[in-house]
């Protein structure tokens, strides 16, 4: 995309000062939480990726240093060090000290990969106590260092190097007075860098962690790019056919890549990206893809007599059942729309994706009739299930309209009718449900006991899901309706609290519940209404005093405080059923004392969350075991 002459040292525009960044860091990096801290790394890595997209860089390494500073190095051309005449200083210094056109989160100008280098570098510099850059170019090592964004000295040559060596190396230490969190999470960086490598085929990214006694490392290098991304996302499911379908092309200056493959699940897991940035709300590129997919499969099915009736048609939803797909476009001037600026607006992207996919998918289906047939057949099954589900729902809708909302019989509802004050406990098992009903505060706490394990929605079609008694009970109790009927303003409880045993089975039931909520009512999670109760693991008694411990560490702490002697009586709770109503209230339900974990979705991590649910709930055992061993977390603690 670029060449040496296109970007002279003079070509940077000079805009605002860096003080603005320190005053309102959230505007530039989203937040000053752990997320913002990790964003600093992505900003620097993105500049190196731009250099890769321009065709000059093949390797990027990211190292977490022992002091939680970060070093990023690439083997690109090296940031130009010559004089920028407008600024009267080195281009390198301009890249690191001048804020360019707005910020990523401030609206206005957006970074364009492969077009505008170094947009985020000055932001990272402004938010770092120390930053240093080395540039390897023309057999020399150029150097400049900064404190809180201000240069310590002019750019100077500090060494000679091999004339073959070229690239940029940056080290920065995030400012602890700005960030609430200063410790980098290896897994967060790992996931993001893996995704970046998938999206930039051929690029090698190495992540190192130098904080521990032994160095931890991961290398990401995917010659197949997003094709391998789809294989990775489908790794814990059975693919419907062996090949990943891949389309690539350029139209109207939009570079389009699409990879897709169906699996044996029932969800649509399509992720769209613009210039390597995920677009959680989709946009024109996604619309173009969906249109092409629906049109092409209907044409194929009709031409091949799979759809016999001239009226018959496959809906987009039917065709996308069990689909994993990546849409990746690269555009010079992306326009983002919507409240959170996460939706692509460029109309040329719609046409470009539509035409590239229509053309190449039509060809693929003709060449691979067995694959085409199995996708069409899965779509037809999906269509029938959807039809059955619709009838079942129409029936309940009619009933509801006639008889008013009939709440499930097992629900012990609360008396307060203001949802803001109310919470509902979804409790595993009738016996624990019984204790909870006695223990609760009747005005504001409702109890819905569920019998045993709820249906695994990851492995069931819609008609079965809507027919399931436990799921129906939850839907009616919540009051919101589901899918196209979903209306969060009708939610009958401010908090939905999942209360299960603190053992493996309990964790499994909680995961089944979360899977259902995540797939069918994601807004409940996104808007912060879903919680996990935390029952204690231990009860400690000594001389008529009682303590509860929620994990081993807490148990040890209490024992150290009260003295480890023969008078201690320690009880390990295996399930909620072992507590009487009073204990359950005191330890797990009393709003004054309990610990609730709020369930959150990180929009940037949706592909990872999808894989998590597929892994935990799917048929394959090995990926599940690995996952549990790696113990990835999708739930964040919130103590109330």
Please say which residue, 46 or 604, places its beta carbon nearer to ligand 28F: 46
Residue span binding ligand 28F (CB under 6 A) among the ranges 67-75, 277-285, 375-383, 630-638: 67-75
Is residue 174 a contact point for ligand 28F (CB under 6 A)?
no
Is residue 61 a contact point for ligand 28F (CB under 6 A)?
no
Specify the 3-state DSSP secondary structure of 412.
Answer: strand
Closest by Cα among 122, 68, 377, 120 to 241: 377
Q: Which of 77, 285, 320, 594 binds ligand 28F (CB under 6 A)?
A: 77
Q: Which of 11, 291, 299, 421 binds ligand 28F (CB under 6 A)?
A: 11
Query: Between vectors from CA 133 to CA 131 and to CA 136, what angle results, nearest 5°?
Result: 170
Q: Which phi and psi (to 5°) does residue 171 adopt? A: -125, 130
Residue span binding ligand 28F (CB under 6 A) among the ranges 7-15, 211-219, 344-352, 460-468: 7-15
Residue span binding ligand 28F (CB under 6 A) among the ranges 15-23, 74-82, 368-376, 429-437: 74-82
Closest by Cα among 595, 503, 509, 506 to 554: 595
* Binders of ligand 28F in range 510-529 (CB under 6 A): none
CB 173 within 8 A of CB 64: no
Is residue 189 a contact point for ligand 28F (CB under 6 A)?
no
Query: Residue 283 gets which letter from DSSP?
Result: B
CB 124 within 8 A of CB 69: no
Is residue 80 a contact point for ligand 28F (CB under 6 A)?
yes
CB 450 within 8 A of CB 473: yes
Q: Residue 221 corresponds to which tokens in the numbers above? A: 């290098």
CB 100 within 8 A of CB 88: no
Q: Residue 499 corresponds to which tokens in the numbers above? A: 């209360």
Q: Which of 72, 81, 124, 412 binds ligand 28F (CB under 6 A)?
A: 72
CB 71 within 8 A of CB 77: no
Q: Which of 9, 277, 446, 454 binds ligand 28F (CB under 6 A)?
A: 9
- Look-up of token digits 């002019």: 154
Closest by Cα among 432, 416, 535, 521 to 476: 521
Q: Residue 459 corresponds to which tokens in the numbers above? A: 């492995």
Smallest gap from Cβ 125 to ligand 28F, in A, equals: 12
Smallest gap from Cβ 37 to ligand 28F, in A, equals: 18
Smallest gap from Cβ 190 to ligand 28F, in A, equals: 18
Residue span binding ligand 28F (CB under 6 A) among the ranges 1-9, 265-273, 307-315, 413-421: 1-9
Question: CA-to-CA distance for 166 and 52, rounded, in angstroms?
Answer: 13
Query: How many Cβ atoms are within 10 Å of 226's Cβ, its own excluded?
Result: 27
Q: Give the active site residues.
A: 428, 501, 503, 505
Helices and strands, counts by H and E, the chain: 20, 26
Closest by Cα among 246, 227, 249, 92 to 155: 92
Is residue 93 a contact point for ligand 28F (CB under 6 A)?
no
Question: CA-to-CA distance for 278 and 606, rounded, in angstroms?
Answer: 10
Please say which residue, 80 or 288, places its beta carbon nearer to ligand 28F: 80
Smallest gap from Cβ 85 to ligand 28F, in A, equals: 12
Query: How many Cβ atoms are within 10 Å of 409's Cβ, its own excluded?
Result: 6
Smallest gap from Cβ 80 to ligand 28F, in A, equals: 5
102 backbone φψ class: left, alpha, beta (φ>0; ψ -120 to 50): left
Q: Which of 25, 114, 118, 322 binds ligand 28F (CB under 6 A)?
A: 118
- In the shown chain, the binding pattern of residues 124 to 163 toward ligand 28F, with x for contact by CB under 6 A and - for none, equals ----------------------------------------
Smallest gap from Cβ 52 to ligand 28F, in A, equals: 9
Q: Which of 100, 117, 492, 614 binds ligand 28F (CB under 6 A)?
A: 117
Is residue 171 a contact point for ligand 28F (CB under 6 A)?
no
Give the total of residues touching ligand 28F (CB under 6 A): 22
Query: Residue 589 gets which letter from DSSP?
Result: I
SS (H, E, C) 422-448: CEEEEEECHHHHHHHHHHCCCCCEEEE
Is residue 382 a contact point for ligand 28F (CB under 6 A)?
no
Q: Which of 21, 41, 79, 491 binds ligand 28F (CB under 6 A)?
A: 79
Smallest gap from Cβ 386 to ligand 28F, in A, equals: 49
Q: Which of 43, 74, 134, 470 binds ligand 28F (CB under 6 A)?
A: 74
CB 90 within 8 A of CB 82: yes
Specify the 3-state DSSP secondary structure of 171.
Answer: strand
Question: CA-to-CA distance for 386 and 398, rounded, in angstroms?
Answer: 18
Specify the 3-state DSSP secondary structure of 304.
Answer: coil
Query: Residue 239 gets which letter from DSSP?
Result: B
Is residue 583 a contact point for ligand 28F (CB under 6 A)?
no
Is residue 76 a contact point for ligand 28F (CB under 6 A)?
yes
Is residue 530 a contact point for ligand 28F (CB under 6 A)?
no
Smallest gap from Cβ 212 to ligand 28F, in A, equals: 23
282 backbone φψ class: left, alpha, beta (φ>0; ψ -120 to 50): left
Is residue 207 a contact point for ligand 28F (CB under 6 A)?
no
* Binders of ligand 28F in range 36-55 (CB under 6 A): 44, 47-48, 51
Question: CA-to-CA distance for 33 and 22, rounded, in angstroms?
Answer: 14
Q: Which of 170, 352, 365, 412 binds ligand 28F (CB under 6 A)?
A: 170
Smallest gap from Cβ 507 to ligand 28F, in A, equals: 41
Please say which residue, 40 or 233, places its beta carbon nearer to ligand 28F: 40
Smallest gap from Cβ 91 to ligand 28F, in A, equals: 5
Binding residues for ligand 28F (CB under 6 A) = 4, 7, 9, 11-12, 44, 47-48, 51, 72-74, 76-77, 79-80, 91, 95, 117-118, 168, 170
């Amino acid at each position: 995309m670029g060449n040496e002459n296109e970007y002279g040292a003079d070509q940077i525009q000079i805009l605002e000062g860096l003080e603005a960044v320190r005053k309102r860091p959230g505007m530039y990096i989203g937040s000053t939480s752990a997320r913002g801290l990790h964003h600093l790394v992505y900003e620097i890595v993105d500049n190196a990726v731009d250099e890769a997209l321009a065709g000059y860089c093949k390797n990027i390494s990211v190292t977490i240093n022992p002091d939680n500073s970060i070093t990023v190095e690439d083997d690109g051309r090296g940031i130009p060090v010559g004089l920028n005449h407008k600024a009267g200083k080195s281009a390198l210094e301009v890249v690191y000290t001048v804020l360019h056109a707005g910020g990523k989160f401030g609206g206005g100008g957006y970074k364009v990969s492969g077009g505008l280098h170094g947009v985020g570098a000055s932001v990272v510099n402004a938010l770092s106590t120390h930053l240093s850059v080395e540039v390897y170019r023309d057999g020399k090592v150029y150097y400049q260092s900064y404190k809180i964004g201000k240069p310590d000295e002019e750019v100077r040559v500090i060494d000679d190097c091999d004339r073959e060596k070229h690239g940029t190396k940056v080290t920065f230490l995030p400012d602890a007075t700005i960030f609430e969190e200063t410790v980098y999470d290896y897994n967060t960086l790992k996931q993001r860098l893996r995704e970046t490598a998938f999206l930039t085929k051929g690029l090698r990214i190495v992540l190192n962690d130098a904080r521990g006694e032994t160095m931890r490392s991961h290398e990401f290098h995917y010659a197949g790019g997003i094709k391998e991304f789809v294989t990775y996302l489908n790794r814990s499911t059975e693919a419907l056919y062996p090949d990943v379908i891949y389309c690539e092309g350029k139209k109207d200056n939009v570079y389009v890549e699409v990879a897709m493959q169906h699996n044996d699940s029932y969800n649509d897991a399509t992720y769209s990206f613009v210039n390597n940035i995920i677009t959680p709300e989709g946009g024109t590129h996604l619309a173009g893809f969906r249109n092409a997919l629906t049109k092409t499969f209907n044409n194929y099915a009709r031409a091949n007599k799979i759809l016999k009736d001239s009226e018959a048609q496959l809906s987009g939803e039917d065709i996308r059942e069990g689909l994993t797909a990546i849409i990746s476009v690269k555009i010079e001037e992306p326009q983002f729309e919507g409240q959170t600026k996460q939706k692509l607006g460029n109309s040329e992207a719609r046409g470009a994706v539509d035409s590239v996919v229509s053309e190449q998918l039509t060809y693929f289906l003709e060449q691979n009739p067995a694959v085409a047939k199995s996708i069409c057949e899965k779509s037809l099954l999906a269509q029938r299930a959807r039809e059955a589900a619709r009838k079942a729902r129409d029936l309940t809708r009619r009933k509801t309209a006639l008889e008013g909302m009939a709440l499930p019989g097992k629900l012990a509802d609360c008396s307060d009718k203001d949802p803001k004050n109310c919470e509902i406990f979804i409790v595993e098992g009738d016996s624990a449900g019984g204790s909870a009903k006695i223990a609760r505060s009747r005005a504001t706490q409702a109890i819905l006991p569920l019998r045993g394990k709820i249906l695994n929605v990851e492995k069931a079609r819609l008609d079965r899901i809507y027919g399931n008694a436990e799921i129906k009970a939850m839907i009616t109790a919540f009051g919101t309706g589901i899918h196209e009927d979903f209306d969060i303003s009708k939610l009958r409880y401010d908090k939905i609290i999942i209360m299960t045993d603190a053992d493996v089975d309990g964790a499994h039931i909680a995961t089944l519940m979360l899977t259902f909520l995540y797939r069918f009512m994601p807004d409940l999670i996104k808007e912060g209404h879903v919680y996990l109760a935390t029952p204690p693991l231990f009860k400690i008694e000594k001389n008529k005093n009682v303590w509860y411990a929620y994990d081993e560490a807490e148990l040890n702490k209490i024992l150290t405080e009260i003295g480890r002697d023969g008078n201690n009586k320690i009880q390990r709770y295996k399930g909620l059923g072992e507590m009487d109503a009073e204990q359950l209230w005191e330890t797990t339900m009393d709003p004054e004392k309990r610990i609730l974990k709020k369930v959150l979705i990180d929009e940037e991590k949706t592909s990872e969350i999808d894989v998590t649910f597929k892994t935990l709930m799917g048929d394959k055992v090995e990926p599940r075991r690995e996952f549990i061993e790696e113990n990835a977390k999708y739930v964040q603690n919130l103590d109330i």
